[in-house]
Amino acid sequence: MLKDYVRLHFIVLLWGFTAILGKLISVPPVELVFWRTLLATVGMGALLMVRGQSWRIPAGEALRLLGVGSLVAVHWITFFLAARLSSVSVCLAGLATLALWTSLLEPLLLWRRVRFYEVGLGLLTMVGLYLVSQAELGQLAGLLVAIGSAGLSALFSVLNSKLVQRHSPLRLTFYEMAGACLSVALFFPIYSRYFTQGVGLQLALHQYDWLWLLLLAGVCTVYAFSASVELMKRISAFVVNLTINLEPVYGIVLAVIMYSLRIPGFGQEKLSTGFYLGTIVILLSVLIHPVLDQWNQRRLRRKEAVDVLVG
């Protein structure tokens, strides 16, 4: 079990490294997402064949998964854009609002009751965001884009919570990566004409781009996903989700290390005390959430057991 826990933390560390890789790769965010999803689709397809799983599903279900994949593409584009507009640390602080977005979207999309402790944690998150925004006014644009990116991530996560009941995680991710790649490719004509200031598409990779891109698609996407699914067979979902909440922590620590090593492009990582105070408040709300969620589930199970006995 210790080996499994260490492996789980290593996977979360890899996910925390994605913003840094996005900063290191020279191509713009849209082209970067195209390369990442193309390579991830090929990798997921190879995994399906190696494991002997069929990729065939009904056409209607395939369209749903491809549609969710387009949300994934927009999420990743805005995520890498936020990392370019601000520091990696500010980007990850905004991304840490994922739990807040999920608590707002789940009652709307899944028709479940609002949980009052989630409302309280959401207010705590807002306090943290206020502290971060006031401390880093010069990076406010990147913070806002990162918050929007977290909202998109929460949206496709909520949608996936229903879709994963009908499809294996590997097949689901294969179609979503394919949908993300296809949606970016279809967007290319509009993007190159109206959003590149006449430069056009910049798909060419330079210097170490191939290395960083292979790490991003192969290690941080295909390996990390398949390994996390395999670990879920032995580790509870609660422990997995609690550990995944450490992703912004690991990412910010890695970004500060990159700054201390004087890596080009990480000069913005020297941040004020107010930023770290606000980030701690946000991360505190993120880490408390699964604990309270577990407590609420146990409370409901005890209530159901009492109702059965009384009935």
* pLDDT of res. 196: 87
* pLDDT of res. 265: 67
Q: At 260, is the secondary structure helix, strand, or coil?
A: helix
pLDDT tens, position by position, 117-175 = 877 888 888 888 888 888 778 888 999 999 999 999 889 888 887 887 788 888 888 99
Dihedral over alpha carbons 209, 212, 213, 214 (to 10 degrees): 120
The span from the CA of 57 to the CA of 128, in Å, is 44
- Dump the DSSP string for 152-218: HHHHHHHHHHHHTTTS-HHHHHHHHHHHHHHHHHHHHHHHHHHSSTT--------TTHHHHHHIIII
Q: Provide mean pLDDT across the span 84-96.
A: 88
* pLDDT greater at residue 181 or residue 265: 181
The span from the CA of 114 to the CA of 190, in Å, is 40
The one-character DSSP state at 267 is: G
* pLDDT of res. 255: 85
* pLDDT of res. 3: 85
pLDDT score of 40 more than 70: yes
Q: 112 — alpha (psi -120 to 50), left (phi > 0) or beta?
A: beta
pLDDT tens, position by position, 190-229 = 999 888 888 889 999 888 999 999 999 999 988 988 888 7
The span from the CA of 88 to the CA of 248, in Å, is 10
The span from the CA of 209 to the CA of 223, in Å, is 19
The span from the CA of 199 to the CA of 124, in Å, is 43
pLDDT tens, position by position, 96-113 = 888 788 878 888 887 777
* pLDDT of res. 191: 93
The share of the chain scoring above pLDDT 90, in percent, equals 30
The share of the chain scoring above pLDDT 70, in percent, equals 94
What is the overall mean pLDDT for the chain?
85
The span from the CA of 38 to the CA of 120, in Å, is 40
Contact status, residue 74 vs residue 152, Cβ threshold 8 Å: yes
pLDDT score of 236 more than 70: no
The CB density around residue 111, as the number of other CB atoms within 10 Å, is 7
Q: Which two tokens stand for residue 106?
A: 């789940």
